[in-house]
Amino acid sequence: QVKMVESGGGSVQAGGSLRLTCAAFGYTGLDYCMAWFRQVPGKEREGVASIDGAGRWKYADSVLGRFTISKDGAALYLEMDSLKPEDTAVYYCAAHDRAGGYCTTLLSADFTDWGQGTQVTVSS
């Protein structure tokens, strides 16, 4: 089981940038899919980006070209640029080892390990 702790959230103006970090303890890169999700109160949790042990990534259309997911050892990152008010949400890191750790989907139901979340607020 992986323990995950997010940090780096905060408040920025539209057009600004933030970098989120997820410290993942017990993570084995070759065996896990890792991802970022976000959720607004009253709405469904949305997949943002994922990366597998081989470094293969996937992005939601809403963030493609603006966000970058990466990993370095036990740390997972989300670089967020050109932020928009609609990016405001609680952001979560998540992981699973299903299908050999390949990121076959970006669906929250497929992930088994979750961080506590970090708030990102983008003002207009």
Q: Residues 76-100: pLDDT tens digits?
A: 999 999 999 999 999 999 999 888 8
Taking alpha carbons only, the member of 49, 22, 21, 18 closest to residue 35 is: 49
Q: DSSP letter at 98?
A: G
What's the whole-number mean pLDDT along residues 10-32? 89
pLDDT at residue 29 in the model: 62
Higher pLDDT, 10 or 100: 10
Burial class of residue 97 (count of CB atoms within 10 Å of its CB; 0-12, 13-18, 19+): middle
pLDDT at residue 53 in the model: 83
Q: Which two tokens stand for residue 108?
A: 């929250």
Given a cut of 90, whether residue 60 has pLDDT beyond it is yes
Q: Which two tokens stand for residue 66?
A: 């603006």
Burial class of residue 30 (count of CB atoms within 10 Å of its CB; 0-12, 13-18, 19+): exposed
Residue 101 pLDDT grade (very low, low, confident, very high; cuts 50, 70, 90):
confident
Q: Which two tokens stand for residue 28?
A: 């084995």
Contact at 8 Å (CB) between 81 and 17?
A: yes
**CA angle centred on 38, ends 101 and 48, rounded to 5°:** 50
> Which neighbouring-strand residues pair with 21?
7, 77
Higher pLDDT, 80 or 54: 80
pLDDT, mean over the chain: 93
> Which neighbouring-strand residues pair with 47?
37
